[in-house]
Structure 1
Amino acid sequence: MTALRGYGKRVMVTGGAGFLGSHLCERLLARGCEVLCVDNYFTGSRQNVAHLLDNRLFETMRHDVTFPLYVEVDEIYNLACPASPVHYQHDPVQTTKTSVHGAINMLGLAKRLNAKILQASTSEVYGDPSVHPQPEDYWGHVNAIGPRACYDEGKRCAETLFFDYHRQHGLPIKVVRIFNTYGPRMHPNDGRVVSNFIMQALRGEPITIYGDGSQTRSFCYVDDLVEGMLRFMDTGAEHTGPLNIGNPGEFTMLELAEKVLRLTGSSSPIVHKELPQDDPKQRRPDIARAKALLDWEPQVPLDEGLARTIAYFRQRFVT
């Protein structure tokens, strides 16, 4: 990747002030792109992009993607949607609207501009999987009426819309399915396991594990995730996805808790609570397609990524 690969290209990132979006904006600016960061600041934060505001190629806009947007850009990354259970279950109807109406509005804009558009989908489209690890051709095992359905089904419907726009209108699309991602700028109270464990450990509070701790997740450091997204966007129009982007390393919740305790030097006890409804028992991406197409695979080991994330949380949130 050369620094000037995107020189002069106008790129819009919806959800650009969020955890993933802010890192993506940084990388696009480093390429020489003009970047329009669009966010309604429900879960995103101005602080995540404050260090970018002096860059003459960077612009922010407060906007909710459930309403149409009329701008002129060359590429669109559609990341707008609350992504943690605490946030997406706060207003489940609005979560579904963000995924579905947001996709319709961004696809309509892309169609008018004939702009390449990438949808940030999720491993949640696989639900509580009966196939392990999860390849892209697995259709999933999702409860369509459960408390997580606003996010799971909203993202599934967004994928449907993307592929129908591609088939019906010839729109150049990219669909990535993002697996658990972590790193600096995560929201400290988003309920996701990495931020939960780190904040609890740094504050000396009990580490909360739901269920017996044997359920697994695969954790991808944010820099690796963004690199995969950028490489996929750079591919030709014939490559639409869906494409898994994540780290195939698989860890139980107990293993993660023990790593966080060791890396923070915390003596917090571990406590167990009831497993939430429809919480997946295992999650691990099959990234064979990404490796073959993009020559990509994660580079940051979990211990190293956790150490960077802990340092951020310690400096930013713990006095």
Structure 2
Amino acid sequence: MTMEFLTEPFMQRALLAAVLVGITAPAVGIYLVQRRQALMGDGIGHVAMTGVGLGFLMSANPVWMATLVTVLGAVAMELIRMYGKTRGDIALALLFYGGMAGGVMLINLSPTGSNANLVSYLFGSLSTVSDEDITAISLLAAFAVLVTVGLRRQLFAISQDEEFARVTGLPVRTLNLLVAITAAVTVTVAMRVVGLLLVSALMVVPVAAAQQLTRSFRATFVLAVLIGTGVTLAGTITTYYQDVPPGATIVLLAIAVFIALTALAAPLARRRARAAETAPAAECAADGTARADDVRV
């Protein structure tokens, strides 16, 4: 296999987008997993279809239009979660399915829309990533990384225990809304490469894979980002040579990594258990303290 793909302008754009997606999706996904909102990205992806449709209908950049719509949708989702009570699940279902149906209708009504355009946004497409898309993706990815890394202590706190975080004086509602907005931004970052229907998998599977080997939040965060970047790059290159859908390829590679790390984790867990049994009590206590400090990152 040669490196000829690096000379193709569309592949240069696709690889850059893949790196940005591989970093941002797990970086946001780790907080969604901690909050037991693993499928939130899937719901936002449905809402994003309306933004894509509006972009085609108004002859605007679909990425920016999808960002606007998904941010509004994510805020609505978070408000429903906070105040929805017993009817919250119905309201969310209406939001998700209405977003998808509205997007499909708008794309078909727009003069520039087509089934090919729809499929590329649903499942990703390398050849359709433009220079304008790269600019939008880069700016949105920078925002997502700044939030997830710069506010990692606060976001980890509300993800673990909202009540405790509220008692300590953290603005829980504001931070919850920020997580939702960042998740919305991440969906629009990833949709050109992975596709709206598969973006949620890239936000969740690398995190789940990393958790098989790591025991601290910091280590899980770093490994999940490495896995996400690795599978998006590998999937993008595979798509170039094999002419397969990029989103499906990337997700299947992420699942393969999860299975491999799960198989590797079992003997490692047994080895750690034996080591803990034979280690002096003082060493075990010190080790536990060190890991707890690491978790509070």
Q: TM-score of the superposition, structure 1-length normalised?
A: 0.30
Higher helix share: 2
Larger Rg: 2
Q: Which has the higher contact order (CA 8 A, sep 6+)?
A: 2
Q: TM-score of the superposition, structure 2-length normalised?
A: 0.31
Higher strand share: 1
